[in-house]
Amino acid sequence: MNRRSFQLAAAAFAAAALAGAGIAAAQDKWPSKPVKVVLSQPAGSGPDNIARLLGDGLAQSLGQPFVIDNKPGGQNVIGAQAVAHSAPDGYTFYFATTAALVTNSYLFKTLPYDPLKDFTPVAFVANSPFALLVNADSPIASVQDLIARSKVDAGKLSIANEGPRTFGGMIARLFNARSKAGANLVSYSSVGVAVQDVLGGHSNAIVADVASTAQLVKQGRLRMLAVTSPKRIAGWDQVPALAETLPGVDMVGWMAVVAPAGTPAPVVARMNADINTLLTTQAFADKMLAIGPIAAPGQTPQQFDAFLRQEHARLGQIAAEIGLLPE
């Protein structure tokens, strides 16, 4: 190598080293500005309430505001796509649910994002059980009662849900399939609209997440017939699991944090550690449980990635069982 070539190589090496040092320094100082957390649900929804609770906790531990950016619509596609196409710089995260990261893969022939390739798993946050509910004034007092009535008046008894291409809609279809019930599954644009129709007596029952309906149950306006987890859940011990009537039913939604693929590993590790610290704090877990979801701390990003792949396989089989084909 001649003198000139050596000088150029040395200069390039020095520049690369400085650039690397600059990136490392930036990561060491992360976050140095507000962090955006996108979610696919509207303000005031169950996931929104949890995201804001989590954001407040992270703002205290990390010293920067966590700004919640609601992008509802498109069955989670709008919010998920926005994050998938964001810069992987550690300043954009996605507060995701089961639908966005798993079940959408089996509901749509094409998606503008890849649930497994376009995101970096950061932290599992909470399990979010769904429930089968009726108006508190309804004569339907149990799951067995609901099934019996649906068979007597096949097609007349209605169960509200967010539509067949949602997690709640999948649960409603699975309930019909495994119970041999003849319930009429009525789709709504949102849980809020569906709940109002149940409260108004226009629909007999509803499948909805516990987080969205917990307060109405506590106020005595809705009656919870069963939760969709394989066992009864903390805080709702008096409510049977749907699996007690229909063995094998395990349809628990969940909430988690992911980032655009390529987000720096040190940022992911720090977020994972701070989120898990919050989730293991009893006061924080209690606040979350009061909303509905159950804190589930302890997963590393690698463990969360393995869980996602297992969920894809399991829920893909359920989609096939209920005859739900991608469109």
pLDDT at 20: 45
Pairing mode, strands 35-39 and 92-97: parallel
pTM: 0.82
Most confident stretch, 9-18, 197-206, 208-217: 197-206
pLDDT at 24: 46
Strand (E) positions, 136-267?
158-161, 184-187, 205-209, 222-227, 252-260
**Contact residues for 136 (Cβ-Cβ < 8 A; gap 6+):** 220, 221, 222, 223
* DSSP 3-state of 240: coil
User: Are the CB atoms for 129 and 187 separated by under 8 Å?
Assistant: no
pLDDT at 292: 83
Question: Where does the pLDDT of residue 3 fall: very low under 50, low under 70, confident under 90, or very high at 90 and above?
Answer: low
Residue 140: both structure tokens together: 């339907």
* Nearest of 170, 130, 174, 138 to residue 157 by alpha carbon: 138
* Torsion on CA atoms 157, 163, 166, 172, rounded to nearest 10: 10
Tell me the CATH number of domain 129-244, given options 3.30.420.40, 3.30.420.10, 3.40.190.10, 3.40.50.620: 3.40.190.10
Q: Does the pLDDT value for residue 166 go beyond 60?
A: yes
What's the number of CA atoms in the CB half-sphere (13 Å) around residue 94? Answer: 32
Does residue 27 or residue 28 have the better pLDDT? 28
Single-letter code of the amino acid located at 150: S
Going from N- to C-terminal start, the domains of the chain cover 33-127+252-321, 129-244
Q: Which residue has the tokens 């590993």?
A: 265
pLDDT at 5: 53
Question: Where does the pLDDT of residue 7 fall: very low under 50, low under 70, confident under 90, or very high at 90 and above?
Answer: low
End-to-end, the C-alpha distance of the chain in Å comes to 61
Residue 37: both structure tokens together: 């957390």
Report DSSP state, residue 99: I
- In angstroms, the CA 47 to CA 54 distance is 10
Q: What is the pLDDT of residues 127-138, one digit of tens each?
A: 999 999 999 999
* Torsion on CA atoms 219, 51, 249, 246, rounded to nearest 10: 0
- In angstroms, the CA 56 to CA 60 distance is 7
Is cis: bond before 31, omega within 30 of 0? yes
The yes or no reply on domain 33-127+252-321 and CATH 3.40.50.300 is no
Percent of the chain predicted with pLDDT > 90: 75
pLDDT averaged over every residue in the chain: 90
Report DSSP state, residue 241: B
Single-letter code of the amino acid located at 199: L
Q: Does the pLDDT value for residue 171 go beyond 80?
A: yes
Task: Kindly report the length of the chain.
Answer: 327
